[in-house]
């Protein structure tokens, strides 16, 4: 059994389990003052629903939908494969001997790497690109967890270079 695949698939569940274990309210969380309406959600409420915010490294640059973001289900549908919607990440190939082979994605505990759509900056020597899990029918309504790992595809025992996990919500 590929232990890395098992770890990657179980990661979103572990992230949520650890997020549920806290040491009390986050003192840095913004709390609304009485009498002034605000759309800011306190950090502890975000963590309760979406787990911890992702930590970025050198290769995963931007996520879409972003952490704790709500998107309409219609916006996740892919009508044109050249312009994919769904769960996407902008990535950098800096420091990698190969490009896309170093990236793996799991959604709701299921690896979807083989179903990724890639858009790269160049066919000869790309410096980065966008990877998307973009099912034609879109992403189902609900809260979803996703994780991206950057690891050597030729050495399954090598240390994972980067791991970014996050959660977001798809609404009707």
Determine how β-strand 128-133 pairs with β-strand 103-107: unpaired
Give the model's pLDDT for residue 19.
38
- For the segment 39-50, what is each residue's pLDDT rounded down to a tens digit? 466 677 777 889
- For the segment 65-80, what is each residue's pLDDT rounded down to a tens digit? 999 999 999 999 998 8
Indicate whether 81 pLDDT > 50: yes
What is the DSSP code (8-state) at residue 68? T
Give the model's pLDDT for residue 144.
97
Our count of domains for the chain comes to: 1
In a domain? residue 134: yes
- CA atoms of 118 and 112, how far apart (whole Å): 13
Report the CATH number at residue 107: 2.60.40.1220
In a domain? residue 68: yes
Domain that holds residue 62: 3-20+41-171
In a domain? residue 31: no
Give the model's pLDDT for residue 40.
60
More confident position, 87 or 4: 87
In a domain? residue 27: no
In a domain? residue 118: yes
Tokens 């759309």 correspond to 39
In a domain? residue 26: no
Contact 63, 88 (CB under 8 A): yes
């Amino acid at each position: 059994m590929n232990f890395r695949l098992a770890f990657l698939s179980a990661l979103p569940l572990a992230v949520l389990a650890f997020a549920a274990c806290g040491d009390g309210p986050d003192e840095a969380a913004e709390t609304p003052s009485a009498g002034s309406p605000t759309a800011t959600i306190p950090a502890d409420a975000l963590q309760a629903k979406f787990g911890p915010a992702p930590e970025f490294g050198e290769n995963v640059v931007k996520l879409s939908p972003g952490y704790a973001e709500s998107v309409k289900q219609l916006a996740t549908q892919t009508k044109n494969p050249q312009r994919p919607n769904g769960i996407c990440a902008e990535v950098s190939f800096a420091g990698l001997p190969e490009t896309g082979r170093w990236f793996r994605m799991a959604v709701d505990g299921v690896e979807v790497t083989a179903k990724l759509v890639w858009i790269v900056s160049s066919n000869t020597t790309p410096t980065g690109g966008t990877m998307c899990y973009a099912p034609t029918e879109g992403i189902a309504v609900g809260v979803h967890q996703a994780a991206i790992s950057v690891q050597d595809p030729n050495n399954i025992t090598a240390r994972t270079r980067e791991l970014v996990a996050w959660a977001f919500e798809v609404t009707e």
